[in-house]
């Protein structure tokens, strides 16, 4: 069955690769971008299978208009992909509050706006898949200089976990995608590096020196392959709740989860001892 995709941030990077993969699979795509002219090549290549729509995801009203245009053109929306996002680099201590908030507005509130706008359509259909682009940093965290970006990605994950339980009775599905470094413009012209005080040179400075993920030699992923994988995945009956994608994403996720389990086990007696029914005081791990 032909599916209709609604993809934010379709002009480049993951969004562009995913749009092309869906179209090559015979599907239809509502491709959104701040500047629809940036989608001209996609429209030229695929004709009336593509609807190019202007969308700034931070604009709630614009999200509702874009969803309405999608339904008017194609009659339904089967897959929603919240891909639009960006990161700037700077220490939490010195990053300007306005910049920190603007990143969060796109990376979290943009997801909220589009998700809320599309939910009535998906509920009425009784089916639909919502794909949220997070990051392996939204699972593991701790990358110096990416405080706003990674905080927003953690928020997207928590938001989507609740969304999944609330909407499962309506026949809706969710998938959180957690990439590691890919050959996109994420750490290129889309990224600004703020002033980094000398005391942060060995942490934030090292990340900024190579363009965030590139500093750790993490750029190994092919966006075209990722797009094909996600199109194939969404067409399956059963989805994972989360998909770390890219070798580094898989290995970092495994290591982080193993570390979490070990830490919980180490401190289990102390944590349990706070309940009335449990032995108290507990023996603390060796310091």
d(CA 263, CA 216): 26
Instruction: Say what the pLDDT of residue 32 is.
Output: 98
pLDDT digits (tens, 9 = 90+) for 59-98: 999 999 999 999 999 999 999 999 999 999 999 999 999 9
Q: What is the CATH number of domain 4-245?
A: 3.40.50.720
What token pair was written down for 231? 């199109």
Residue 214: pLDDT over 50: no
pLDDT digits (tens, 9 = 90+) for 219-252: 579 999 999 999 999 999 999 999 999 999 999 9
Q: Is 86 a catalytic residue?
A: no
What token pair was written down for 12? 């480049």
Residue 144: pLDDT over 60: yes
Residue tagged active-site, from 148, 153, 200, 253: 153
Q: Is 153 a catalytic residue?
A: yes
**How confident is the model over 52-59, as a mean pLDDT?**
98
d(CA 149, CA 98): 14
Sequence spans of domains, the chain: 4-245
pLDDT digits (tens, 9 = 90+) for 112-137: 999 999 999 999 999 999 999 999 99
pTM of full prediction above 0.75 = yes
Chain-centre distance of CA 214, in angstroms? 19
Q: Is 149 a catalytic residue?
A: yes
3-state secondary structure 46-67: HHHHEEEEECCCCCHHHHHHHH
In terms of C-beta density within 10 A (0-12 exposed, 13-18 middle, 19 or more buried), how is residue 271 classed?
exposed
pLDDT band at residue 211 using 50, 70 and 90 as cut-offs: low
Question: Are the C-beta atoms of residues 174 and 160 closer than 8 Å to each other?
Answer: yes
Kindly report the length of the chain.
Answer: 287
Find where tokens 């929603």 sit: 80
What average pLDDT does the chain have? 94
Residue tagged active-site, from 149, 180, 200, 253: 149
Residue tagged active-site, from 10, 11, 134, 148: 134
């Amino acid at each position: 069955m032909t599916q209709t995709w609604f993809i934010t941030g379709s002009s480049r990077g993951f969004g562009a690769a995913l749009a092309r993969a869906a179209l090559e699979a015979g599907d239809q795509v509502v491709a959104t971008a701040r500047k629809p002219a940036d989608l001209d090549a996609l429209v030229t290549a695929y004709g009336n299978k593509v609807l190019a729509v202007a969308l700034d995801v931070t604009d709630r009203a614009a999200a509702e208009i874009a969803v309405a245009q999608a339904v008017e053109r194609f009659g339904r929306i089967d897959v929603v992909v919240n891909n639009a996002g960006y990161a700037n680099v700077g220490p939490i201590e010195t990053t300007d509050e306005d910049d920190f908030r603007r990143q969060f507005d796109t990376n979290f509130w943009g997801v909220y706006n589009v998700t809320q706008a599309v939910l009535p359509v998906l509920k009425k259909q009784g089916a639909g898949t919502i794909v949220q682009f997070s990051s392996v940093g939204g699972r593991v965290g701790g990358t110096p200089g990416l405080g706003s970006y990674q905080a927003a990605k953690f928020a997207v994950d928590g938001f989507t976990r609740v969304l999944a339980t609330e909407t499962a009775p309506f026949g809706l599905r969710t998938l959180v995608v957690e990439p590691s470094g890919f050959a996109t413009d994420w750490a290129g012209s889309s990224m600004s590096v703020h002033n980094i005080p000398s005391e942060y040179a060995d942490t934030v400075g090292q990340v900024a020196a190579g363009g965030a993920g590139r500093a750790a030699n993490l750029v190994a992923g092919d966006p075209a392959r990722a797009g094909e994988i996600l199109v194939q995945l969404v067409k399956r009956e059963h989805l994972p709740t989360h998909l770390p994608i890219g070798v580094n994403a898989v290995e970092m996720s495994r290591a982080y989860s193993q570390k979490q389990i070990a830490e919980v086990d180490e401190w289990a007696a102390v944590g349990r001892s706070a309940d009335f029914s449990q032995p108290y005081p507990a023996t603390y791990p060796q310091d």
